[in-house]
Amino acid sequence: MHDLNVDINHITRVEGHGNIVIDVKGGKIRELRMDIIESPRFFEAMALGRTYKEVAQITSRICGICAVTHTTTSIKAIESVLGFEPSIQTIRLRKLLLNAEFIQSHILHVYFLTAPDFFRVGSVFGMVKDNKDDVLRGMRLKSLANDLCALVGGRHIHPITLKVGCFSKSPELKDIAAFKKRIVESRSDIDVTVKFFKDLKTPEFERETEYISLTSPDEYALYGGSIKSSDHNGETAPVDYLDRIKEFIVPHSTAKHAKSNRNSYMVGALARFNNNYEQLHPKAKAAAEEMGLKHPCYNPYMNNIAQVVETVHCFEDSINLIDDLISDGLSDEKVELLPEKGRGVGATEAPRGTLYHEHKMDDNGKITYANYVIPTAQNLANIENDLRSLIPQVLNKKKEEIILDIEMLVRAYDPCISCSSHLMKVKFVNE
């Protein structure tokens, strides 16, 4: 096939967002564009005038899947303004909560969005007939992570105990200890998950790109660290994030794109895997080997396998964090921070990649400037470049197979569409 015309309309309720347009004529790509996110500037506008204590409650609502990361990053930006470093206990609890979000998000992504493609069943509901045990395993693991989120964050969805300075309420030690037992008992589900994804054949495709993630000398960086690009030897402090990444507007989209050394870069599980492989838990490395994920990897479809690897890592890291919390004991902390005028940046790894929140506030603690750089904004140009490279390689396939390859690639990233209304449109049976 030398001609291809694909126009995928993604349904979002906010006008002007949501297309993948590909036009190939005579084997040449004439048009390829993707516009499936909103501009975060609307959320930034909502933050203005809010106090430093309440702004995280707004950002928590940007995304139901990554609410912990948005809240944490918002708080870290405020603490950056104030030059405040939380206690070890608070940092451990934040890391535990972040692990819970990574596990639930990755599990949902790989079981509910990615796996159905391998069985050609259209959606997770199509897997129920022949793969119900697999769906239920995904549900169990997702529930485990969400229950951990509720235990530490106070709620299953949109956490409420995360505050500037410390947690408003610490979990009970006995509950944390009991939860460790649950995580340990669920290792068997993780083992089967690794075997399940090992058997699924990921499309073969390679395109090396620039990989950007946080990095830390102490650990596999999720909660914090400095910014690392695979194109550079040095690292960049989060507060200088605009020295490393440049946001720009493209003509076809109101969404901000981002670039660094090249005209696109990748963030997310595969970028972290490539940048920080050595610091993965040994069990996570073993899972990578079992599933055929070799370091470094330049196949964006393998992002989902990297997510399974990170899920293993987060499982083991959570057990270690709980051991540390039990060993040192938990106390109810009280931290009262007074406002100060200044600028601060928070950077945290979200499941889909590095998330930056920049805040400026005045003497009264009112937010006067906000800039949020979400992972999907950073990945957007990279997805387009992946598609530009992929399409000429698959043009000899049938159109429906090409479309599936394209869709699978987009789903491998799972673009965040925070502006996507979850509104149901129903048609009643008796109408």
Q: Build a one-symbol-per-residue string for 372-391: x at contacts with another protein by CB under 8 A, - elsewhere.
A: --------------------
Phi-psi region of 211 (alpha: psi -120 to 50; beta: other; left: phi over 0): beta
Cβ proximity to another protein: between 113 and 200 the closer is 113
The span of 78-86, 153-161, 254-262, 269-277 binding another protein (CB under 8 A) equals 153-161
Task: State the minimum distance, in angstroms, from the CB of residue 329 to another protein.
Answer: 25
**46, 50, 54, 59: CA torsion to nearest 10:** 20
**212, 313, 383, 413: CA torsion to nearest 10:** -140
Counting contacts by CB under 8 A, is residue 315 touching another protein? Answer: no
Counting contacts by CB under 8 A, is residue 178 touching another protein? Answer: no
- Output phi, psi for 290, to 5 deg: -60, -35
Counting contacts by CB under 8 A, is residue 421 touching another protein? Answer: yes
Q: How many residues comprise the chain?
A: 431
Number of residues that bind another protein (CB under 8 A): 63
The span of 150-158, 212-220, 233-241, 249-257 binding another protein (CB under 8 A) equals 150-158
Counting contacts by CB under 8 A, is residue 415 touching another protein? Answer: yes
Q: Given CA atoms 331, 336, 340, 346 in this order, what sign does their dihedral have? A: positive
CA distances to 25, 121, 237, 286 from 381, rounded to whole Å, are: 22, 29, 24, 32
Q: Tell me the residue type at 176.
A: I
Cβ proximity to another protein: between 42 and 369 the closer is 42
Counting contacts by CB under 8 A, is residue 45 touching another protein? Answer: yes
Token pair listed for 222:
């999720």
Counting contacts by CB under 8 A, is residue 122 touching another protein? Answer: yes
Counting contacts by CB under 8 A, is residue 239 touching another protein? Answer: no
Concatenating the DSSP letter of every residue in 125-140 gives HHHHHHHHHHHHHHHH
Task: State the minimum distance, in angstroms, from the CB of residue 283 to another protein.
Answer: 26
Counting contacts by CB under 8 A, is residue 182 touching another protein? Answer: no
Pair 227, 243: CB distance under 8 Å: no
Task: State the minimum distance, in angstroms, from the CB of residue 276 to another protein.
Answer: 25
Q: Build a one-symbol-per-residue string for 50-69: x at contacts with another protein by CB under 8 A, - elsewhere.
A: --------x--xxxxx-x--
CA distances to 37, 158, 256 from 308, rounded to whole Å, are: 25, 24, 29
Contact with another protein (CB under 8 A) among 2, 5, 14, 341: 14
Counting contacts by CB under 8 A, is residue 148 touching another protein? Answer: no
Among the listed residues 170, 167, 168, 164, the one whose alpha carbon sits nearest the alpha carbon of residue 84: 164
Three-state DSSP at 26 gives coil
Counting contacts by CB under 8 A, is residue 429 touching another protein? Answer: yes
Counting contacts by CB under 8 A, is residue 98 touching another protein? Answer: no
The span of 10-18, 189-197, 218-226, 250-258 binding another protein (CB under 8 A) equals 10-18
Distance (Å, rounded) from C-alpha 122 to C-alpha 71? Answer: 33
Which residues would be at the binding site for another protein (CB under 8 A)? Answer: 8, 10-14, 20, 36, 42-43, 45-46, 58, 61-65, 67, 104, 108-109, 112-113, 122-126, 128, 132, 135-136, 139, 142-143, 146-147, 150, 155-158, 407, 410-411, 414-430
